[in-house]
Amino acid sequence: MSIMQDVQSRWKQLSRPEQRWLVSESMHAPGAGWRIRCNVIRNLVRGERPWVIAQVLGCSRSTVYRVAEAFLAKGWKGWWTAAKTMVIPRWTRDML
């Protein structure tokens, strides 16, 4: 199976409220990184190809595959906590 089909089957295992929450996060999340990750999953579920998603979202194709593989391995709960702990600020107030 392709990565797109794997993500689609994993998506079907989520409950309806979890699916709605993830769609909402893809549009309204405060952090751009988290919003892009949610959009990657959302677009894979909709049937978009990884290279198209990468072009539209402005990220690399390997990022699309990494996000998809993390979603498949951990589901959104483990993936969400890992994403929150891995955020490293690119700048601080000292740099301004």
For residue range 30-46, list pLDDT tens digits in order. 878 888 888 999 999 99
Question: 86 pLDDT band (50/70/90 cuts)?
Answer: very low
Mean pLDDT of 73-90: 60
pLDDT at 46: 93
Q: Report residue 44 CA to chain centroid gap.
A: 9
Confidence (pTM): 0.77
Give burial (CB, 10 Å; 0-12/13-18/19+) of 85.
Answer: exposed
| Full residue range of the structural domain in which residue 56 is found | 15-85
Rounded distance between C-alpha atoms, residue 91 and residue 73, angstroms:
31
User: Is the pLDDT score of 96 beyond 90?
Assistant: no
Asked if residue 10 is part of any domain, the answer here is: no
Rounded distance between C-alpha atoms, residue 76 and residue 95, angstroms:
34
Number of domains in the chain: 1
Asked if residue 69 is part of any domain, the answer here is: yes
Rounded distance between C-alpha atoms, residue 40 and residue 69, angstroms:
11
- Show the tokens assigned to 92: 């601080």
Mean pLDDT of 39-54: 92
